[in-house]
């Protein structure tokens, strides 16, 4: 399967991805995670991406399209993939269609994590992550067994630099202006499944499974 996960910051894309990935043996391509790794390693890509990310704006289409173009060609992604956080602009969606056409493949489903903006601040400001594994926790909704510590490795958890109420406003603004048109782009192709992303994680998982069956 070739899937796209679209939704605002905190809507649950990164929470559902590992579950879908394991169930269908797909590779998980999260542009945000890849960019954060590049920023941490201070690579040329990371240096270019940092400013936009810190402010909650979007990184340039050319940079993210380049990352995805490279990633979807990898042998590990030939059986299928989950795109988490890409495409985020109509230009990115068009470029993706071109890349897939070259491979003779196409997108099977777009999962739209529909949710009211009002719920997102609490989700974002309470999030803690374990960068090496991508595991995500929440102080209230998904607390780790030991506060500030990853359940599996025992390593420390961190908070994302852009997970403040202030930067969230810009991220939501980018979502409404630049990413919502991408949902319409795929609606025209009849590929969109609507999820009720405000429900508890397990119920969202059940909706995902129904949409993919
Ligand atoms: P990115 O990393 O993609 O961030 P985002 O889109 O803002 O999404 P989040 O990761 O914040 O939310 P999520 O939906 O994954 O939520 P999660 O499941 O963790 O992008 C970051 C930046 O990179 C962008 O701002 C941009 O600068 C750049 N970028 C990335 N891709 C780009 C692109 N294609 N083009 C240009 N620039 C790009 O859940 C959040 C919290 O809520 C967690 O604590 C979780 O435990 C909890 N939670 C999850 N589900 C539930 C639930 N059902 N009920 C209760 N709590 C829940
Ligand atoms: Zn995420």
| C-alpha span between 40 and 60 (Å, rounded) | 18
What's the pLDDT at 134? 85
What's the pLDDT at 132? 87
| C-alpha span between 43 and 129 (Å, rounded) | 22
Rounded distance from Cα 13 to ligand 1 centre (Å): 6
165 contact partners, CB below 8 Å, separation of at least 6: 121, 124, 125
Q: Are 120 and 114 contacting, i.e. CB atoms less than 8 angstroms apart?
A: no
How far is Cα of residue 171 from the mean position of the Cα atoms in its chain? Answer: 13
What's the pLDDT at 99? 96
Residue 28 in 3-state DSSP? strand
| C-alpha span between 181 and 89 (Å, rounded) | 7
The pLDDT tens digits for 83-101 are 999 999 999 999 999 999 9
| C-alpha span between 105 and 200 (Å, rounded) | 33
Give residues whose Cβ lies within 5 Å of ion ligand 2: 14
CA-based end-to-end distance of the chain:
11
Tell me which of 2, 36, 95, 127 is the catalytic residue.
127
| C-alpha span between 213 and 208 (Å, rounded) | 9
Rounded distance from Cα 115 to ligand 1 centre (Å): 13
Residue 4 pairs in a beta bridge with 83, 110
Backbone angles phi, psi at 191, to 5 degrees: -110, -5
Q: Catalytic residue at 169?
A: no
ipTM value, please give it. 0.98
- What strand order describes the sheet that includes 109-114? 27-30, 81-84, 2-6, 109-114, 192-196
Q: Catalytic residue at 123?
A: no
CATH number at 2-117+165-212 = 3.40.50.300
Q: Are 94 and 88 contacting, i.e. CB atoms less than 8 angstroms apart?
A: no
Number of Cβ within a 10 Å radius of residue 11: 24
Q: Which residues have C-beta atoms less than 6 Å from ligand 1?
A: 7, 9-15, 31-32, 35, 52-53, 56-59, 64, 85-86, 88, 92, 123, 126-127, 136-138, 141-142, 171, 200-201, 204
The pLDDT tens digits for 1-25 are 999 999 999 999 999 999 999 999 8
pLDDT along the chain (213 residues), means of 10: 98 95 93 95 97 97 97 93 98 97 96 97 96 91 96 96 97 98 98 98 97 94
Domain boundaries, the chain: 2-117+165-212
| C-alpha span between 107 and 99 (Å, rounded) | 11
| C-alpha span between 129 and 134 (Å, rounded) | 7
């Amino acid at each position: 399967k070739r899937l796209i996960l679209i939704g605002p910051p905190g809507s649950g894309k990164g929470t559902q991805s590992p579950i879908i990935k394991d169930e269908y043996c797909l590779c998980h391509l999260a542009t945000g995670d890849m960019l954060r790794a590049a920023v941490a390693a201070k690579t040329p890509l990371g240096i270019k991406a940092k400013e936009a990310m810190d402010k909650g704006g979007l990184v340039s289409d050319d940079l993210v399209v380049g990352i995805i173009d490279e990633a979807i060609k990898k042998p590990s992604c030939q059986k299928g993939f989950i795109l988490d956080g890409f495409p985020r602009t109509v230009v990115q969606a068009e470029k993706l269609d071109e890349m897939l056409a070259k491979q003779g493949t196409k997108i099977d489903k777009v999962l739209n994590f529909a949710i009211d903006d009002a719920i997102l601040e609490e989700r974002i400001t309470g999030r803690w992550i374990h960068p090496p594994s991508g595991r995500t926790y929440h102080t209230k909704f998904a607390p780790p067994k030991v506060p500030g510590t990853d359940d599996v490795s025992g390593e420390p958890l961190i908070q994302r630099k852009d997970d403040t109420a202030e930067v969230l406003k810009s991220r939501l603004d980018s979502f409404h202006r630049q990413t919502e048109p991408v949902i319409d782009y795929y609606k025209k192709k009849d590929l969109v499944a609507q999820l009720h992303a405000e429900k508890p994680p397990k119920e969202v998982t059940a909706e995902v499974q129904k949409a993919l069956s």
